[in-house]
Structure 1
Protein backbone atom coordinates (compact mmCIF):
# COMPACT_ATOMS: atom_id res chain seq x y z
CA UNK A 1 0.00 0.00 0.00
CA UNK A 2 2.85 2.37 0.88
CA UNK A 3 4.50 1.65 -2.47
CA UNK A 4 1.22 2.32 -4.27
CA UNK A 5 0.80 5.69 -2.53
CA UNK A 6 4.39 6.61 -3.34
CA UNK A 7 3.91 5.81 -7.01
CA UNK A 8 0.65 7.76 -7.11
CA UNK A 9 2.33 10.79 -5.51
CA UNK A 10 5.08 10.75 -8.11
CA UNK A 11 2.55 10.48 -10.93
CA UNK A 12 0.59 13.45 -9.65
CA UNK A 13 3.80 15.47 -9.39
CA UNK A 14 4.31 15.17 -13.16
CA UNK A 15 2.61 18.18 -14.78
CA UNK A 16 0.20 17.42 -17.55
CA UNK A 17 0.82 19.63 -20.62
CA UNK A 18 -1.80 22.35 -20.93
CA UNK A 19 -3.18 22.89 -24.44
CA UNK A 20 -2.25 26.32 -25.78
CA UNK A 21 -4.92 28.47 -27.40
CA UNK A 22 -3.38 30.28 -30.34
CA UNK A 23 -4.62 32.55 -33.11
CA UNK A 24 -2.89 33.57 -36.30
CA UNK A 25 -2.70 37.11 -34.87
CA UNK A 26 -1.30 35.98 -31.50
CA UNK A 27 1.68 37.72 -29.96
CA UNK A 28 3.81 34.57 -29.78
CA UNK A 29 5.86 35.05 -32.97
CA UNK A 30 6.40 38.69 -32.07
CA UNK A 31 8.31 37.70 -28.95
CA UNK A 32 11.21 36.99 -31.30
CA UNK A 33 10.72 40.02 -33.54
CA UNK A 34 10.08 43.37 -31.90
CA UNK A 35 9.68 45.22 -35.19
CA UNK A 36 6.66 47.50 -35.22
CA UNK A 37 5.20 50.21 -37.44
CA UNK A 38 4.02 53.64 -36.42
CA UNK A 39 1.05 54.91 -38.42
CA UNK A 40 0.84 58.71 -38.48
CA UNK A 41 -2.00 60.79 -39.90
CA UNK A 42 -1.77 64.58 -40.14
CA UNK A 43 -4.81 66.69 -40.92
CA UNK A 44 -3.55 69.97 -42.34
CA UNK A 45 -5.20 73.36 -42.15
CA UNK A 46 -7.14 74.43 -45.24
CA UNK A 47 -4.88 75.99 -47.90
CA UNK A 48 -1.72 74.79 -46.10
CA UNK A 49 -1.34 71.40 -47.80
CA UNK A 50 1.01 72.55 -50.57
CA UNK A 51 3.18 74.58 -48.22
CA UNK A 52 3.56 71.63 -45.86
CA UNK A 53 4.33 69.13 -48.60
CA UNK A 54 6.92 71.32 -50.30
CA UNK A 55 8.76 71.76 -47.01
CA UNK A 56 8.70 68.04 -46.19
CA UNK A 57 9.78 67.05 -49.70
CA UNK A 58 12.77 69.35 -49.51
CA UNK A 59 13.87 68.23 -46.05
CA UNK A 60 12.65 64.65 -45.55
CA UNK A 61 16.24 63.38 -45.80
CA UNK A 62 16.92 64.98 -42.42
CA UNK A 63 14.20 62.85 -40.84
CA UNK A 64 14.98 59.59 -42.65
CA UNK A 65 18.57 59.83 -41.40
CA UNK A 66 17.15 58.78 -38.02
CA UNK A 67 14.78 55.91 -38.94
CA UNK A 68 13.19 54.13 -41.88
CA UNK A 69 10.24 55.65 -43.71
CA UNK A 70 8.05 52.89 -45.19
CA UNK A 71 5.68 55.11 -47.14
CA UNK A 72 4.19 58.58 -47.34
CA UNK A 73 0.86 59.34 -49.03
CA UNK A 74 -1.67 62.09 -49.55
CA UNK A 75 -5.29 61.10 -49.00
CA UNK A 76 -7.32 61.35 -52.21
CA UNK A 77 -10.67 59.94 -51.01
CA UNK A 78 -12.08 58.90 -47.66
CA UNK A 79 -12.81 61.27 -44.81
CA UNK A 80 -11.32 64.68 -44.38
CA UNK A 81 -9.39 66.39 -47.19
CA UNK A 82 -5.93 67.96 -46.74
CA UNK A 83 -4.68 64.83 -45.01
CA UNK A 84 -1.38 62.94 -45.23
CA UNK A 85 -0.60 59.45 -43.96
CA UNK A 86 2.86 57.96 -43.34
CA UNK A 87 4.37 54.80 -41.86
CA UNK A 88 7.64 54.53 -39.92
CA UNK A 89 9.45 51.32 -39.02
CA UNK A 90 11.23 50.62 -35.70
CA UNK A 91 13.20 47.61 -34.49
CA UNK A 92 11.67 47.82 -31.00
CA UNK A 93 10.51 50.39 -28.45
CA UNK A 94 14.05 51.15 -27.28
CA UNK A 95 14.95 51.95 -30.88
CA UNK A 96 12.04 54.39 -31.16
CA UNK A 97 13.05 56.07 -27.90
CA UNK A 98 16.56 56.63 -29.20
CA UNK A 99 15.24 57.93 -32.51
CA UNK A 100 12.95 60.43 -30.78
CA UNK A 101 15.86 61.64 -28.66
CA UNK A 102 18.00 62.04 -31.78
CA UNK A 103 15.26 63.98 -33.57
CA UNK A 104 14.87 66.33 -30.62
CA UNK A 105 18.61 67.09 -30.73
CA UNK A 106 18.74 67.48 -34.51
CA UNK A 107 18.80 71.25 -34.93
CA UNK A 108 18.40 71.14 -38.71
CA UNK A 109 15.27 69.00 -38.52
CA UNK A 110 13.82 71.04 -35.65
CA UNK A 111 14.21 74.19 -37.74
CA UNK A 112 12.06 72.47 -40.38
CA UNK A 113 9.41 70.74 -38.30
CA UNK A 114 8.66 73.42 -35.69
CA UNK A 115 7.32 75.96 -38.23
CA UNK A 116 5.39 73.15 -39.96
CA UNK A 117 3.57 72.27 -36.74
CA UNK A 118 1.62 75.50 -37.14
CA UNK A 119 0.24 74.11 -40.44
CA UNK A 120 -1.14 70.95 -38.83
CA UNK A 121 -4.66 70.99 -37.43
CA UNK A 122 -4.66 67.49 -35.94
CA UNK A 123 -2.27 64.55 -35.50
CA UNK A 124 -3.13 60.90 -34.87
CA UNK A 125 -0.87 57.88 -34.57
CA UNK A 126 -1.10 54.19 -33.74
CA UNK A 127 1.55 51.60 -32.96
CA UNK A 128 0.96 48.44 -34.98
CA UNK A 129 2.53 45.06 -35.63
CA UNK A 130 2.60 43.33 -38.97
CA UNK A 131 0.59 40.15 -38.40
CA UNK A 132 2.68 36.94 -38.32
CA UNK A 133 1.06 35.40 -41.40
CA UNK A 134 2.09 38.09 -43.86
CA UNK A 135 5.17 40.12 -44.69
CA UNK A 136 5.47 43.63 -46.03
CA UNK A 137 5.32 43.44 -49.82
CA UNK A 138 6.61 45.99 -52.30
CA UNK A 139 4.35 46.50 -55.32
CA UNK A 140 5.84 45.81 -58.77
CA UNK A 141 5.35 49.37 -60.04
CA UNK A 142 3.77 52.70 -59.21
CA UNK A 143 0.08 52.77 -58.45
CA UNK A 144 -2.48 53.76 -55.84
CA UNK A 145 -3.02 52.38 -52.35
CA UNK A 146 -6.11 51.65 -50.33
CA UNK A 147 -5.96 51.63 -46.54
CA UNK A 148 -8.91 49.68 -45.16
CA UNK A 149 -9.52 50.08 -41.43
CA UNK A 150 -11.51 47.39 -39.63
CA UNK A 151 -12.78 47.82 -36.08
CA UNK A 152 -13.43 44.33 -34.73
CA UNK A 153 -15.49 43.21 -31.75
CA UNK A 154 -13.82 43.12 -28.30
CA UNK A 155 -12.23 39.78 -27.57
CA UNK A 156 -9.12 40.13 -29.66
CA UNK A 157 -7.68 37.92 -32.38
CA UNK A 158 -8.51 34.77 -30.41
CA UNK A 159 -12.12 35.57 -31.28
CA UNK A 160 -11.93 36.91 -34.85
CA UNK A 161 -8.36 36.47 -36.10
CA UNK A 162 -8.76 33.25 -38.08
CA UNK A 163 -11.95 34.37 -39.84
CA UNK A 164 -10.35 37.69 -40.74
CA UNK A 165 -7.32 35.92 -42.19
CA UNK A 166 -9.52 33.76 -44.40
CA UNK A 167 -11.36 36.84 -45.72
CA UNK A 168 -8.11 38.59 -46.62
CA UNK A 169 -6.61 35.50 -48.26
CA UNK A 170 -9.74 34.98 -50.33
CA UNK A 171 -9.12 38.31 -52.06
CA UNK A 172 -5.36 37.76 -52.40
CA UNK A 173 -5.38 34.16 -53.59
CA UNK A 174 -7.96 34.87 -56.28
CA UNK A 175 -5.97 37.82 -57.62
CA UNK A 176 -8.50 40.61 -57.20
CA UNK A 177 -5.97 42.96 -55.62
CA UNK A 178 -2.42 42.96 -54.24
CA UNK A 179 -1.77 42.91 -50.51
CA UNK A 180 0.98 45.14 -49.13
CA UNK A 181 0.51 44.34 -45.44
CA UNK A 182 -1.90 43.59 -42.60
CA UNK A 183 -1.30 45.38 -39.30
CA UNK A 184 -2.85 44.92 -35.85
CA UNK A 185 -2.89 47.73 -33.29
CA UNK A 186 -0.82 47.49 -30.13
CA UNK A 187 -1.44 51.08 -29.01
CA UNK A 188 -4.37 53.17 -30.19
CA UNK A 189 -7.86 51.87 -30.90
CA UNK A 190 -7.60 48.21 -29.86
CA UNK A 191 -9.12 45.38 -31.89
CA UNK A 192 -8.35 47.43 -34.99
CA UNK A 193 -6.80 45.97 -38.12
CA UNK A 194 -5.27 48.00 -40.94
CA UNK A 195 -5.06 46.38 -44.37
CA UNK A 196 -2.93 48.13 -46.99
CA UNK A 197 -3.73 47.20 -50.59
CA UNK A 198 -2.14 48.21 -53.90
CA UNK A 199 -3.74 48.61 -57.31
CA UNK A 200 -2.56 50.02 -60.62
CA UNK A 201 -5.25 52.70 -60.55
CA UNK A 202 -8.47 53.69 -58.84
CA UNK A 203 -10.39 52.21 -61.77
CA UNK A 204 -8.61 48.84 -61.59
CA UNK A 205 -9.32 48.79 -57.86
CA UNK A 206 -13.02 49.40 -58.54
CA UNK A 207 -13.13 46.65 -61.17
CA UNK A 208 -11.45 44.12 -58.87
CA UNK A 209 -13.77 45.00 -56.03
CA UNK A 210 -16.88 44.54 -58.16
CA UNK A 211 -15.65 41.18 -59.43
CA UNK A 212 -14.79 39.93 -55.95
CA UNK A 213 -18.27 40.83 -54.70
CA UNK A 214 -19.70 38.44 -57.28
CA UNK A 215 -17.32 35.59 -56.43
CA UNK A 216 -19.06 33.12 -54.07
CA UNK A 217 -15.69 32.08 -52.58
CA UNK A 218 -14.95 35.63 -51.48
CA UNK A 219 -18.53 36.24 -50.38
CA UNK A 220 -18.47 33.16 -48.13
CA UNK A 221 -15.19 34.14 -46.47
CA UNK A 222 -16.25 37.75 -45.95
CA UNK A 223 -19.65 36.73 -44.59
CA UNK A 224 -17.92 34.75 -41.85
CA UNK A 225 -15.59 37.62 -40.94
CA UNK A 226 -18.28 40.32 -40.76
CA UNK A 227 -19.89 38.46 -37.86
CA UNK A 228 -17.10 39.99 -35.76
CA UNK A 229 -17.04 43.42 -37.40
CA UNK A 230 -18.07 46.64 -35.62
CA UNK A 231 -17.25 49.16 -38.33
CA UNK A 232 -14.98 49.77 -41.28
CA UNK A 233 -13.71 52.66 -43.36
CA UNK A 234 -11.16 53.19 -46.10
CA UNK A 235 -9.00 55.80 -47.77
CA UNK A 236 -7.53 55.97 -51.26
CA UNK A 237 -3.88 57.00 -50.93
CA UNK A 238 -1.61 58.57 -53.53
CA UNK A 239 2.14 58.08 -52.90
CA UNK A 240 4.14 61.31 -52.86
CA UNK A 241 7.37 61.67 -54.84
CA UNK A 242 9.66 60.82 -51.93
CA UNK A 243 7.66 57.81 -50.66
CA UNK A 244 9.66 54.54 -50.68
CA UNK A 245 6.44 52.68 -51.49
CA UNK A 246 5.24 53.93 -54.86
Structure 2
Protein backbone atom coordinates (compact mmCIF):
# COMPACT_ATOMS: atom_id res chain seq x y z
CA UNK A 1 0.00 0.00 0.00
CA UNK A 2 1.52 3.32 -1.03
CA UNK A 3 -0.41 6.41 -0.07
CA UNK A 4 0.49 9.91 -1.22
CA UNK A 5 -0.12 12.47 1.50
CA UNK A 6 -0.86 16.16 1.11
CA UNK A 7 -0.96 18.98 3.64
CA UNK A 8 -4.21 20.38 5.01
CA UNK A 9 -5.47 22.83 7.59
CA UNK A 10 -4.58 20.47 10.45
CA UNK A 11 -0.98 19.80 9.41
CA UNK A 12 -0.08 17.60 6.50
CA UNK A 13 -2.87 15.48 5.04
CA UNK A 14 -1.73 12.40 3.13
CA UNK A 15 -2.86 10.57 -0.08
CA UNK A 16 -2.35 6.87 -0.73
CA UNK A 17 -0.75 5.57 -3.89
CA UNK A 18 -1.17 2.22 -5.57
CA UNK A 19 0.48 -1.03 -4.54
CA UNK A 20 4.06 -1.36 -5.74
CA UNK A 21 6.12 -4.17 -7.17
CA UNK A 22 9.39 -4.79 -5.33
CA UNK A 23 12.43 -6.48 -6.78
CA UNK A 24 15.34 -8.72 -5.84
CA UNK A 25 15.68 -10.05 -2.31
CA UNK A 26 12.76 -7.98 -1.03
CA UNK A 27 10.37 -10.13 -3.04
CA UNK A 28 11.25 -13.07 -0.81
CA UNK A 29 10.09 -11.33 2.37
CA UNK A 30 6.81 -9.81 1.18
CA UNK A 31 3.96 -12.02 2.23
CA UNK A 32 0.39 -12.15 3.44
CA UNK A 33 -0.66 -15.09 5.62
CA UNK A 34 -2.90 -16.10 8.48
CA UNK A 35 0.17 -17.61 10.14
CA UNK A 36 1.11 -14.08 11.14
CA UNK A 37 -1.51 -14.17 13.88
CA UNK A 38 0.11 -17.17 15.56
CA UNK A 39 3.76 -16.32 15.08
CA UNK A 40 3.67 -12.57 15.62
CA UNK A 41 4.18 -12.20 19.35
CA UNK A 42 7.42 -14.19 19.57
CA UNK A 43 8.93 -12.33 16.62
CA UNK A 44 7.99 -8.97 18.10
CA UNK A 45 9.62 -9.73 21.43
CA UNK A 46 12.84 -11.00 19.87
CA UNK A 47 13.27 -8.54 17.02
CA UNK A 48 12.15 -5.37 18.76
CA UNK A 49 15.14 -5.51 21.08
CA UNK A 50 17.49 -5.86 18.12
CA UNK A 51 16.20 -3.31 15.62
CA UNK A 52 13.79 -1.04 17.48
CA UNK A 53 14.70 2.36 18.83
CA UNK A 54 12.76 1.59 21.99
CA UNK A 55 12.19 5.21 23.03
CA UNK A 56 8.73 5.96 21.63
CA UNK A 57 5.63 4.16 20.43
CA UNK A 58 3.77 5.62 17.47
CA UNK A 59 0.05 5.15 17.07
CA UNK A 60 -1.16 5.01 13.45
CA UNK A 61 -4.82 6.08 13.45
CA UNK A 62 -6.62 5.63 10.12
CA UNK A 63 -10.09 7.14 9.65
CA UNK A 64 -12.35 6.32 6.70
CA UNK A 65 -14.73 9.25 6.35
CA UNK A 66 -18.16 9.56 4.73
CA UNK A 67 -17.55 11.32 1.38
CA UNK A 68 -20.17 14.00 1.99
CA UNK A 69 -18.82 14.74 5.48
CA UNK A 70 -15.14 15.36 4.74
CA UNK A 71 -15.17 19.09 5.47
CA UNK A 72 -17.13 18.58 8.69
CA UNK A 73 -14.69 15.85 9.67
CA UNK A 74 -11.66 18.09 9.09
CA UNK A 75 -13.02 20.71 11.46
CA UNK A 76 -13.86 18.14 14.12
CA UNK A 77 -10.49 16.39 13.73
CA UNK A 78 -8.60 19.65 14.03
CA UNK A 79 -10.35 20.43 17.30
CA UNK A 80 -9.80 16.90 18.63
CA UNK A 81 -6.09 16.58 17.85
CA UNK A 82 -5.29 20.14 18.88
CA UNK A 83 -7.03 19.34 22.15
CA UNK A 84 -4.84 16.28 22.66
CA UNK A 85 -1.68 18.30 22.14
CA UNK A 86 -2.82 21.19 24.34
CA UNK A 87 -3.63 19.02 27.36
CA UNK A 88 -0.52 18.93 29.62
CA UNK A 89 -1.71 15.74 31.30
CA UNK A 90 -1.63 13.68 28.11
CA UNK A 91 2.08 13.90 27.17
CA UNK A 92 1.46 13.07 23.52
CA UNK A 93 2.92 14.57 20.34
CA UNK A 94 1.55 14.65 16.81
CA UNK A 95 3.99 13.45 14.16
CA UNK A 96 1.49 14.53 11.52
CA UNK A 97 -2.03 14.38 10.11
CA UNK A 98 -2.70 13.69 6.44
CA UNK A 99 -5.48 13.25 3.91
CA UNK A 100 -5.15 10.53 1.28
CA UNK A 101 -5.34 12.03 -2.21
CA UNK A 102 -4.10 9.04 -4.26
CA UNK A 103 -5.43 5.64 -3.30
CA UNK A 104 -8.35 5.10 -0.92
CA UNK A 105 -9.88 8.56 -0.93
CA UNK A 106 -11.76 10.17 1.96
CA UNK A 107 -9.19 8.56 4.27
CA UNK A 108 -7.16 10.38 6.91
CA UNK A 109 -4.00 9.22 8.67
CA UNK A 110 -2.87 10.56 12.05
CA UNK A 111 0.43 9.48 13.65
CA UNK A 112 0.75 10.14 17.39
CA UNK A 113 3.93 9.75 19.45
CA UNK A 114 3.79 8.31 22.97
CA UNK A 115 6.52 7.89 25.59
CA UNK A 116 6.74 4.14 25.04
CA UNK A 117 4.04 1.75 26.24
CA UNK A 118 3.91 3.19 29.73
CA UNK A 119 3.27 6.60 28.20
CA UNK A 120 0.62 5.17 25.91
CA UNK A 121 -1.19 3.62 28.87
CA UNK A 122 -1.06 6.86 30.87
CA UNK A 123 -2.15 8.98 27.90
CA UNK A 124 -5.11 6.82 26.96
CA UNK A 125 -6.24 6.56 30.58
CA UNK A 126 -6.04 10.35 31.02
CA UNK A 127 -7.92 10.87 27.74
CA UNK A 128 -10.73 8.58 28.91
CA UNK A 129 -11.00 10.63 32.10
CA UNK A 130 -11.05 13.99 30.29
CA UNK A 131 -14.58 15.28 29.54
CA UNK A 132 -13.20 17.59 26.84
CA UNK A 133 -11.31 14.85 24.99
CA UNK A 134 -14.25 12.47 25.24
CA UNK A 135 -16.47 15.17 23.77
CA UNK A 136 -14.18 15.97 20.82
CA UNK A 137 -13.73 12.27 20.05
CA UNK A 138 -17.49 11.73 20.14
CA UNK A 139 -17.88 14.65 17.72
CA UNK A 140 -15.78 12.76 15.15
CA UNK A 141 -17.84 9.58 15.11
CA UNK A 142 -20.86 10.73 13.08
CA UNK A 143 -18.55 11.44 10.14
CA UNK A 144 -16.74 8.07 10.16
CA UNK A 145 -17.37 4.91 8.18
CA UNK A 146 -14.69 3.00 10.10
CA UNK A 147 -11.41 3.52 11.89
CA UNK A 148 -8.48 1.40 13.00
CA UNK A 149 -5.31 1.79 15.02
CA UNK A 150 -1.90 0.15 14.98
CA UNK A 151 0.98 0.66 17.42
CA UNK A 152 4.43 0.76 15.82
CA UNK A 153 8.03 1.26 16.86
CA UNK A 154 10.69 3.19 14.98
CA UNK A 155 13.60 1.38 13.38
CA UNK A 156 16.68 2.24 15.43
CA UNK A 157 18.71 3.32 12.39
CA UNK A 158 16.13 5.93 11.34
CA UNK A 159 14.36 7.88 14.11
CA UNK A 160 11.44 9.91 12.78
CA UNK A 161 12.02 13.55 11.95
CA UNK A 162 10.25 16.39 13.78
CA UNK A 163 6.94 17.52 12.25
CA UNK A 164 7.50 19.43 9.02
CA UNK A 165 5.81 22.66 7.98
CA UNK A 166 6.91 23.09 4.37
CA UNK A 167 4.09 21.09 2.82
CA UNK A 168 4.45 19.24 -0.47
CA UNK A 169 3.33 15.64 -0.75
CA UNK A 170 4.01 12.71 1.54
CA UNK A 171 4.20 9.10 0.43
CA UNK A 172 3.43 6.37 2.95
CA UNK A 173 4.68 2.98 1.77
CA UNK A 174 3.52 -0.10 3.68
CA UNK A 175 4.55 -3.72 3.27
CA UNK A 176 3.35 -7.01 4.76
CA UNK A 177 6.26 -9.35 5.46
CA UNK A 178 6.62 -13.07 5.88
CA UNK A 179 6.61 -14.00 9.58
CA UNK A 180 10.22 -14.23 10.74
CA UNK A 181 11.68 -12.03 7.99
CA UNK A 182 11.79 -8.67 9.79
CA UNK A 183 15.53 -8.80 10.49
CA UNK A 184 16.25 -9.64 6.86
CA UNK A 185 14.04 -6.77 5.70
CA UNK A 186 15.73 -4.31 8.07
CA UNK A 187 19.20 -5.32 6.92
CA UNK A 188 18.42 -5.01 3.20
CA UNK A 189 16.35 -1.86 3.50
CA UNK A 190 18.88 -0.09 5.76
CA UNK A 191 21.57 -0.54 3.10
CA UNK A 192 19.19 0.83 0.51
CA UNK A 193 18.35 3.88 2.62
CA UNK A 194 22.03 4.63 3.15
CA UNK A 195 22.48 4.62 -0.62
CA UNK A 196 19.40 6.73 -1.29
CA UNK A 197 20.00 9.42 1.34
CA UNK A 198 22.09 11.44 -1.10
CA UNK A 199 18.80 12.16 -2.90
CA UNK A 200 16.11 12.09 -0.20
CA UNK A 201 15.79 10.99 3.41
CA UNK A 202 12.64 9.35 4.82
CA UNK A 203 10.58 11.22 7.36
CA UNK A 204 10.33 8.01 9.38
CA UNK A 205 10.30 4.21 9.32
CA UNK A 206 8.33 1.89 11.61
CA UNK A 207 7.42 -1.75 12.19
CA UNK A 208 4.15 -2.87 13.74
CA UNK A 209 3.97 -4.26 17.26
CA UNK A 210 0.29 -4.18 18.27
CA UNK A 211 -2.62 -4.50 15.88
CA UNK A 212 -1.94 -5.87 12.40
CA UNK A 213 1.45 -7.61 12.70
CA UNK A 214 4.33 -8.16 10.26
CA UNK A 215 3.92 -4.75 8.65
CA UNK A 216 6.54 -2.08 8.00
CA UNK A 217 5.91 1.52 6.99
CA UNK A 218 8.12 4.29 5.68
CA UNK A 219 7.16 7.87 5.00
CA UNK A 220 8.75 10.17 2.40
CA UNK A 221 8.30 13.85 1.58
CA UNK A 222 8.65 15.52 -1.83
CA UNK A 223 7.79 19.00 -3.15
CA UNK A 224 5.60 17.43 -5.85
CA UNK A 225 5.06 14.24 -7.87
CA UNK A 226 7.45 15.29 -10.63
CA UNK A 227 10.27 15.60 -8.09
CA UNK A 228 9.32 12.21 -6.67
CA UNK A 229 9.61 10.67 -10.13
CA UNK A 230 13.03 12.15 -10.90
CA UNK A 231 14.36 11.35 -7.42
CA UNK A 232 13.36 7.72 -7.66
CA UNK A 233 14.85 7.40 -11.15
CA UNK A 234 18.21 8.70 -9.92
CA UNK A 235 18.13 6.49 -6.83
CA UNK A 236 17.60 3.34 -8.92
CA UNK A 237 20.96 4.00 -10.58
CA UNK A 238 22.80 3.77 -7.26
CA UNK A 239 24.25 0.52 -5.92
CA UNK A 240 22.49 -0.49 -2.73
CA UNK A 241 19.04 0.87 -3.48
CA UNK A 242 18.60 -1.14 -6.67
CA UNK A 243 19.98 -4.38 -5.20
Same fold by TM-score greater than 0.5: yes
**Partner Cα distance (1:136, 1:142) in 2:** 17
Asked if the contact 1:178–1:199 (Cα under 8 Å) also holds between the matched residues in 2, the reply is: no
RMSD: 2.3
Alignment equivalent of 1:132, drawn from 149, 156, 169? 156
TM-score (norm: length of structure 1): 0.70
**What is the aligned partner in structure 2 of residue 210 from structure 1?**
233
Post-superposition offset of 1:159: 3.3
Which shifted more, 130-139 or 58-67? Answer: 58-67
Alignment equivalent of 1:117, drawn from 121, 124, 141? 141
Distance 1:104 1:70, change over 3 A: same
TM-score (norm: length of structure 2): 0.71
Q: Deviations over 1:114-168 (max 9, x none)?
A: 1321211111211111101112224583322110112222213233321122223
**What is the aligned partner in structure 1 of residue 78 from structure 2?**
57
**What is the aligned partner in structure 1 of residue 94 from structure 2?**
69
Match status 1:96 vs 2:120: yes
**What is the aligned partner in structure 1 of residue 132 from structure 2?**
108
**What is the aligned partner in structure 2 of residue 22 from structure 1?**
none
Post-superposition offset of 1:220: 3.4
Q: Secondary structure at the match of 1:110?
A: helix
**What is the aligned partner in structure 2 of residue 44 from structure 1?**
65
**What is the aligned partner in structure 2 of residue 167 from structure 1?**
192
Q: Deviations over 1:4-36 (max 9, x none)?
A: xxxxxxxxxxxxxxxxxxxxx942367883411
**Partner Cα distance (1:95, 1:103) in 2:** 12
Please list every run of 5 or more consecutive structure 1 residues that lacks an aligned counterpart in the other structure: 1-24, 222-246
Greater CA radius of gyration, 1 or 2?
1
